[in-house]
Chains A and B, each alone.
Chain A
């Protein structure tokens, strides 16, 4: 019995759920950032699974583009985190509730 498509989808759903839980319960902005990365990876797994089972390369191209967007998000997001830390001396998202720095 080889792995089925539904197994990969279930694994992806579980990973995405863990990411959502992390974003909700975490208070450190870097931890939240990493949970968002986890959610992006869960979606990537869905794309690759569908692409592989349906023999269509489009899904993997989307994964490639998602990875690029994630890299851009990492650069800009970490820049924002640095700016927040420089202005507030804290990484707690609850303390960064005013956009004006």
Chain B
């Protein structure tokens, strides 16, 4: 019974993965990838890891794939065209590397043989939420904290990357809302002055920028209005 289930979910995972690579439309690829995630979650349940299975569904199939599909739809990407500008050797190289890795998989299947280890039965508490929590907050507390710092960096990095404009620079745009400008933008002679000039509206900022760099600011404003 377990063997049948393994074959079912493994076949589903491989089929969805192949479909994902074969699809040209990124949206269909994303949906196939969700299929892979769900198959893997089923395999995690078979491996007596219900917590990881639940997290797999929630984080991967839920959060990450929603984010990916959101970006795909936001960018409205067209299907990949067939015209290839890539160097010719890349596709044969990919085939050779794939053949090597499949050969390694075949080696594992045929020559490693049956493992002496038997699967975990229900008497073990490995994989339950309690054992994972205990391990996470005792032995692996430092990696846990480092991961939290990583998440904080990801939040800041994603905001910095995704917002329009970024830090005020040569190509700066005046966006609505509160602006904090370096004084050197308004007055070229005060480069070393660290005190910022604070404005509260776009008009105020534009009026300040009228001076030495007024023309550039005006064109920038017109650009942003065209957007």
List A residues at the B interface (Cβ < 8 Å).
1-11, 13-22, 24-28, 30-31, 33-35, 37-38, 41, 44-45, 48-49, 51-58, 60-61, 63-65, 67-76, 78-83, 85-86, 91, 94
Q: Assuming A18-B21, A82-B161, is B64 touching A10 (CB within 8 A)?
A: no
Determine the distance from Cα of A41 to Cα of B214 in the docked complex, in whole angstroms.
53
Chain A residues closer than 8 Å to B104, beta-carbon distance = 13
Chain A residues closer than 8 Å to B36, beta-carbon distance = 15, 38, 41
Which of B37, B64, B67, B108 has the most chain A CB within a 10 Å cutoff?
B64
List B residues at the A interface (Cβ < 8 Å).
2-3, 6, 10, 13-14, 17-18, 20-21, 26, 29-30, 33, 36-37, 40, 43-44, 46-49, 51-52, 55-56, 59-60, 63-64, 67-68, 71-72, 74-75, 77, 80, 84-86, 90-91, 93-94, 97-98, 101-102, 104-106, 108-109, 112-115, 117-120, 124, 126-127, 131-132, 135-136, 139-140, 143-144, 147, 150-151, 153-155, 157-162, 164
Determine the distance from Cα of A81 to Cα of B74 in the docked complex, in whole angstroms.
11
In the complex the two chains form, is B114's CB within 8 Å of A6's CB?
yes
Contacts A41-B40, A55-B120, A55-B124 supplied; 13 other A-B pairs, CB < 8 Å: A2-B3, A17-B101, A19-B17, A26-B80, A31-B26, A44-B52, A44-B56, A52-B119, A57-B135, A60-B52, A61-B143, A79-B160, A94-B86
Chain A residues closer than 8 Å to B127, beta-carbon distance = 51-52, 57, 60
Shortest Cβ distance from A30 into chain B, in angstroms? Answer: 5
In the complex the two chains form, is B162's CB within 8 Å of A83's CB?
yes
In the complex the two chains form, is A15's CB within 8 Å of B132's CB?
no
Shortest Cβ distance from A24 into chain B, in angstroms? Answer: 4
In the complex the two chains form, is A25's CB within 8 Å of B136's CB?
no
Q: Assuming A3-B3, A75-B67, is B47 touching A24 (CB within 8 A)?
A: no
In the complex the two chains form, is A82's CB within 8 Å of B75's CB?
yes
Q: Which of B3, B46, B60 sits near A70, CB closer than 8 Å?
A: B60
In the complex the two chains form, is A3's CB within 8 Å of B119's CB?
yes
Determine the distance from Cα of A14 to Cα of B29 in the docked complex, in whole angstroms.
18
